[in-house]
Structure 1
Amino acid sequence: MNWYAIHAIYRFEMARMGRTLMQSIASPVISTSLYFVVFGTAIGSRVGDIDGVSYGAFIIPGLLMLSLMTESISNASFGIFMPKYSGTIYEVLSAPISFMEIVLGYVGAAATKSLILAVIILLTARAFIPYHIEHPFWMLLFLLLTVVTFSLFGFVLGVWAQGFEKLQVVPMMIITPLTFLGGSFYSISMLPPFWQTVTLFNPVVYLVSGFRWSFYGVADVGVGVSVAMTAAFLLLCLAAVAWIFRTGYHLKN
């Protein structure tokens, strides 16, 4: 394993975060804080408890998951897209470094940025809404699975995209709607039976449900199912990355 090459890519990507703090950290923290103020404090004070949890605290895992997924995708996709766009990706591909080491550098940096963002958002949420974490180990596990999985997905998206506009299509048109419809602001048990069944086809439901369980011990679906679905998506993303480097899709041509 060429740890020097991995560290070089990782350090370069982390340095980019330092140059774009407003976009990478400040913007998502401010946006999420507005959700806490509007939904958690203003509206939450007029909404009853859900499964024994105050509404303001209930939405924290879903809002955090929304920020993590979108930022993980954005960080990883932009990180690999820019070298491809500028042509410097050929220098990486010609270096004595395997595709696994390239992925570790880019995805590791994107996942680290998202974890830093998660800590800041959790600390910020404490200023607005009291909450507790019943299962810290499982919370960390879901955090790691989510940021790594969606950083891999973002890496695939960055390779697939042939223009800056395509980088925004999937996060804005697919991920964000799925998150809002995945139980971030409500429990799917509040829906009519037919729509409960339809909602279970939304993969984000399992992420939000498992993450919320790690906070309050309540979930819409079984925790084991949530972990299994997340792991399945992680393996799918790994398979897609392996295929990209094996075929050179949008990298060598």
Structure 2
Amino acid sequence: MNTHAIRAIYTFELARWFRTLVQSVASPVISTSLYFVVFGAAIGSRIATVDGVSYGAFIVPGLIMLSILTESISNASFGIYMPRYAGTIYEVLSAPVSFVEVVTGYVGAAATKSVLLGLIILATARLFVPFHIEHPVWMISFLILTSVTFSLFGFIIGLWASGWEKLQVIPILVITPLAFLGGSFYSISMLPPLWQKITLFNPVVYLISGFRWSFYGISDVGVGISLAATLGFMVLCVIVIAWIFKTGHRLKN
């Protein structure tokens, strides 16, 4: 394992993130704060509790997960797309490093940014609503697992995209709607029976459900199913990335 290569890529990506803190951190934190004001205060005053949890506290895991999904994909996709766009990707490909080391550096940096952002939003949420975390170890585990999984997915998008506009297609048109429809602001048990079954085809439901369970011990689907679904998607992303590096698809052309 070439740890020098991993460290070089990792530190470079983190340094780029620190140079754009206003865009990378302040913007999502402010956006999430507005969600707390609108949904927590305005709507929360009309909804007493959801599954025994105050509405303001109930939406905390969903809002954190919403930010984690979008930021993980954005950070990882931009991180690998820039070398492709500038042509410096060939320096990485010709260096004595394996695809595992390249992916570890880029995805590790993107996941680190997402985890830090998630913790910052968690601390910010405390300013608006009181909440507790019943399973802190599992909360951190889901946070890290989700960040790594969707950073891998973002890495694939960065390799797939042939232009700047394509970097935003999947996050805006697919991930964000799925997150809003995946129980970020409500429990799927509040839906009619037919829509409850349809919603189970939304993969984000399992992420938010497992993460919310780590806070309050309640979930729309079993925590084991949530964990298995996330791990399965992560393995699928690794297989796709391995195939891309093996074939050179979107890397050498």
Structure 1 residue 252, shift from structure 2 partner: 0.8
Indicate the residue corresponding to 2:53 in structure 1: 53
C-alpha separation in 2, matches of 1:12 and 1:223: 36
Partner residue of 2:187? 187
Partner residue in 2 for 1:234: 234
Moved more, 37-46 or 23-32: 37-46
* Cα distance in 1 for residues equivalent to 2:47 and 2:188: 16
Question: How is 1:86-165 mapped onto 2 (pairs within 5 angstroms)?
Answer: 86-165=86-165
Question: Given the alignment of the two structures, is residue 38 of structure 1 paired with residue 38 of structure 2, yes or no?
Answer: yes
Question: 1:166 and 1:211 mapped to 2: Cα distance?
Answer: 29
The aligned residue for residue 74 of structure 1 is: 74
How many Å separate the matches in 2 of 1:160 and 1:23?
24
Alignment partner of 1:198 is 2:209? no
> TM-score under structure 1 normalisation?
0.99
CA deviation map 1:150-209 (0-9, x unaligned): 000000000000001000000000000000000111110111111100000000000000
| Paired positions, count | 253
| Residue identity opposite 1:204 in structure 2 | V
Residue 23 of structure 1: how far off its partner (Å) = 1.2
TM-aligned CA deviation for residue 22 of structure 1: 1.2
For 1:212, the aligned partner's letter is R
2: distance between equivalents of 1:219 and 1:67?
A: 20
Distance 1:33 1:243 in 2: 40
Shift of 1:53: 0.2
Q: Which structure 1 residue ranges, 5 or more long, are not aligned?
A: none
For residues 14 and 23 of structure 2, what CA distance do their matches in structure 1 show?
14
Deviation at 1:42, TM superposition (A): 2.2
C-alpha separation in 1, matches of 2:194 and 2:119: 37
Unaligned runs of 5+ in 2: none
Contact 1:142–1:210 (8 Å) recurs in 2: yes
CA displacement 1:7-28 (0-9 Å, x = unmatched):
0000000000011111111111
What is the aligned-residue identity percentage? 73
**Equivalent AA in structure 2 for residue 176 of structure 1:** T
User: Separation in 2 of the partners of 1:119 and 1:51?
Assistant: 25
| Preserved CA contact (<8 Å) 1:17 1:24 | yes
Q: How does 1:215-226 map to 2 (within 5 A)?
A: 215-226=215-226
What RMSD, in angstroms, separates the aligned Cα atoms of the two structures?
Answer: 0.6
Contact 1:160 1:250 in 2 (8 A): yes
What per-residue deviation string (whole Å, max 9, x for no partner) do you get for residues 49-71 of structure 1? 00000000000100100000000
Alignment partner, residue 174 of structure 1: 174
1:34 maps to amino acid = L
1:138–1:214 contact (8 Å) kept in structure 2: yes
Question: How many Å separate the matches in 2 of 1:207 and 1:119?
Answer: 17
**SS at 1:127's partner residue?**
coil
Superposition map of 1:200-215 within 5 A = 200-215=200-215
> Does the 8 Å contact 1:152/1:237 carry over to 2?
yes
Measured after TM superposition, the shift of residue 41 of structure 1 is: 1.9
